Amino acid sequence: MLSKTFMNKDFIEIRWHGRGGQGAITAAKIVAEAAFISGYSGVVMAPTFGTERRGAPVMTSLKISRHKIYDLSAIETPDIIVVFDHLLLDEADVTHGLKPGGIIILNTPKAFETYSLNGYILATADITAISVEAGLPHGIINTGIIGSLAKATNFLKFDMLIKGIEEEFRTRNPEKNSLAARIAYERTVTGG
């Protein structure tokens, strides 16, 4: 059901919310490259400008289109938001502008049922724990969360994303990173 959401999407806007140092830019870049290879000739990824600090809330915009993108301005009304840390829900207005029926990908240790959906589609997984289980150092979650994104959407093939992860991390535990994404894919709970 859920995966049908993006069957015919020609223009997708994803906003990534993480903390400085969590690797949100790398995650967005992996998705951007998979999208480009999959035939989306327009991909534009714009990180927060000038205010990045380790641990502070940061944001990255990713626009994916069938055509070249001329508008590089920040995303105002995302289709999807990816939240690296559930505590950001209280710290920043992460759902700002999210389209009605939009998707929230959330890394949280809490149960799916804990959250009220407000008309959005929610996908949750404890990526922090899953990543450790996959053999990654504690706190490395930017590859695992791609598994949740793949589970909740279907505009990109999961295999393509796994390939992208292994390529990006070819010198830094490629198998553990892709395993984190695979486990996350299996364990992600979605609903809306």
Partner 1 sequence: MHIIENGNVAAALGVMLCRVNVIAAYPITPQTPLTEKLSEYVESGEMKAEYIPVESEHSALAVCIAASSAGGRSFTATSANGLLYMHEQVQWAAGARLPIVMCVVNRAVGAPWNVWNDQQDSISQRDTGWIQIYCADHQQIIDSIIKAYWLAEKVSIPIMVCYDGYILSHTYMPFDVPDQKKVDDFLPPFNPDYALNPHEPANLNTVTLPDVRLDVRGELAHGYMEIRYLLHEEMRKSLTVAAEAEKRFVDIFGRGGDPYIEPYLCDDAEYVAVGLGSLTYQLRVCVDTLRKEGIKAGVMGIRFYRPFPDIALANALKGKKGVIVFEKALSYGYEGALVSDLKSALYEHLAGTGTLPVVQNIIAGIGGRKIRTEDLTQNLRTAIKGQVTYEPVWIGLEI
State the residues that interact with partner 1 by CB under 8 A. Answer: 29, 32-33, 36, 41, 43-47, 49-50, 69-74, 76
Closest approach of partner 1 to the CB of residue 166, in Å: 17
Q: At what angle do helices 144-152 and 158-168 cross, to 10 degrees?
A: 160
Assess contact for 138 and 132: CB atoms under 8 A: yes
Rounded to the nearest whole angstrom, what is the least distance from the CB of residue 128 to partner 1 in the complex?
26
Nearer to partner 1, 43 or 184 (CB): 43
Complex with partner 1: residue 8 or 73, whichever CB lies closer: 73
**Cβ–Cβ contacts within 10 Å for residue 9, how many?**
16
Please state the closest distance from residue 104 (CB atom) to partner 1, in A.
23
Q: What is the DSSP string of 116-144?
A: --TT-EEEEE-HHHHHHHTTPPTT--TTH
> HSE on the CB side for 14, CA within 13 Å?
30
Instruction: Please state, in angstroms and rounded to a whole number, the distance separating the CA atoms of residues 134 and 113.
Output: 25
Smallest separation, CB 62 to partner 1 (Å): 9
Of 27 and 106, nearer to partner 1 (C-beta) is 27
β partners of residue 83: 17, 106
Contacts with 133 (C-beta within 8 Å, 6 or more apart), sequence order: 180, 183
Nearer to partner 1, 3 or 41 (CB): 41
Nearer to partner 1, 1 or 72 (CB): 72
Give the shortest CB-81-to-partner 1 separation in angstroms: 19
